[in-house]
Structure 1
Amino acid sequence: MIQNIIFDFGGVFVNLDTEAVPRGLRNYGLTAPGPDLISLSERYEKGELDSKTFLACAQKAIPGSQADEIREIWNQTIAYFPLERLDFLSKLKESGRYRMFLLSNTNALHIEQVQENMGKDVFEKFRGCFEAFYLSHEIGMRKPDPEIFSFVLKTNALQPENTLFIDDTQEHIASASRLGIKTWHLAVEKESILELDKYLY
């Protein structure tokens, strides 16, 4: 029986424009983020770089770019937050049936954009639905590394067989599954978190 639920953030709750960065990079003659930019992004998500350093390093990887231009392109990834998802989450919390956690690969710039898009009151209500709110850049780990799942399980004394992890990235799902955690690979184009009941077995 599921007693605990670990939710991803982007894609599961907040809609993402996954083509925003590749689309923006085309203005600088790049068709997609190269290995250097991908590595930089992952280090930023682990909190190894602050935002100023990330933007400065990204400028070197994107010839002819300016820091404010990179910030704009970067943050266009964050789209809108459907309020029916907050209503659903609030009711789930009020039911008292599950311990609820958030586990997100993210960074300081994206979280700032999320708060701006959602508004302070909505964001705080959303955050308050969770027993713990784990952001990769704050805890120094990122999915799919097994250590991040082990950290959440151990810190909160969760049993993997009683825990459901929901994410829209297959690589993250596979990593959690190897630790015995129940999973739902949410297909964002076909499914919604509002269908959660189907996976609470």
Structure 2
Amino acid sequence: MIKNIIFDFGDVFINLDKGIIFREMERFGGTIDLTPEMAELNNMYEIGGISTEEFIARLQSQYPKASASEIKNIWNSMLLDFPEERLEFIEQLAKEDEYRLFLLSNTNALHITHVEQKMGSDRYYRFKNAFEKFYLSHEIKLRKPNTEIYQFVLDENGLKAEETFFIDDTKENTEAAEKIGINCWNIQVGKEDIVQLKPKL
């Protein structure tokens, strides 16, 4: 029996354009492919291992034609809209009080600040307040798909894996959670929507 639900954020609630960063960076002499160096830099930033200033400076060294503000704008441009029906859905789920609700997101300081500005503080806090806990990778110094992050959420909240359901758009992340016994839904972006959750539980 499912008692707890852990939700991803990007492409589950807020729509993303993950490829825009590379398309835009190409204009500044970058590559459209995710290089190992870029992946490592992103991962480090997502666990709060480097500051925003250092992150931008290191990107600038790779894309010297881009200013710091251009890099910031490009980095945030992947964050698109947050449909109202998804916000209403999670608020209603919280109101029903049938499940303990948690958010678990790989994110970074630049993105979460931009999300709040883009959504507006009122909508952002309506969303945040629907969850018992709001776990952001750069704050807890762990990121998906490392199994430690799932164990951390289970342990901190006294949750049993078999009573927990996790939703994420990245297969690598759901596969990692399944390894420790968590039930998962690898949501297919563009084909499925979080508002269709109930029949999956």
TM range (shorter): over 0.9
Structure 2 match to 1:4:
4
Match of 2:55 in 1: 54
2:134 is paired with a residue of what secondary structure? strand
Counterpart of 1:160 in structure 2 is 161
Percent identity over the alignment is 47
Q: Residue 175 of structure 2 corresponds to which residue in structure 1?
A: 174
Find the aligned partners of 1:62 and 1:183 in 2 and give their Cα distance: 38
Instruction: Say which SS state the counterpart of residue 11 (structure 1) adopts.
Output: coil
- Mapping of residues 1-201 of structure 1, within 5 Å: 1-29=1-29, 30-200=31-201
CA displacement at 1:119 relative to structure 2: 0.3
Structure 1 range deviating more: 16-25 or 101-110? 16-25
Matched residue type, 1:91: Q
Q: Output the CA distance in 1 between the equivalents of 2:93 and 2:5.
A: 11
Report the Cα offset of residue 140 of structure 1: 0.2
Letter in 1 for 2:17: D
Of residues 61-70 and 157-166 in structure 1, the stretch that sits farther from structure 2 once superposed is 61-70
Residues of 2 paired with 1:136 and 1:15: CA distance? 19
Q: Does structure 2 conserve the Cα–Cα contact (< 8 Å) formed by 1:37 and 1:61?
A: no
CA contact (8 A) 1:25 1:32 kept: no
AA paired with 1:55? I
Q: Deviations 1:78-115 (Å, cap 9, x if unpaired)?
A: 00100111111111011110000000000000001111
Determine the C-alpha separation between the residues in 2 that align with 1:133 and 1:31. Answer: 32
Q: Structure 2-normalised TM-score?
A: 0.97
Match of 1:37, SS state, is: helix
In structure 2, the residue corresponding to 1:28 is in which secondary structure? coil
**CA distance in 1: counterparts of 2:33 and 2:21, whole angstroms:** 8
Structure 1-normalised TM-score?
Answer: 0.97
Alpha-carbon distance in 2 for matches of 1:112, 1:58? 19
Write out the 4+ residue segments of structure 1 that deviate beyond 6 Å after TM superposition.
Answer: none
SS at match of 2:5: strand
Contact 1:36/1:61, CA 8 A, preserved across alignment = no
Shift of 1:22: 1.3
Q: 1:60, CA displacement in angstroms? A: 1.1
Which stretch shows the higher mean deviation, 58-67 or 157-166? 58-67
Instruction: Write the letter of the residue equivalent to 2:25.
Output: L
Q: Mark the runs of 5 or more structure 1 residues left unpaired by the alignment.
A: none
- State the distance in 1 between where 2:36 and 2:82 align: 30
The amino acid that maps onto 1:5 is I
| Count, aligned residues | 200
CA distance in 2, matches of 1:21, 1:84: 27
> 2:27 aligns to what SS in structure 1?
helix
When the two chains are superposed, the root-mean-square deviation of aligned CA atoms in Å is 0.8
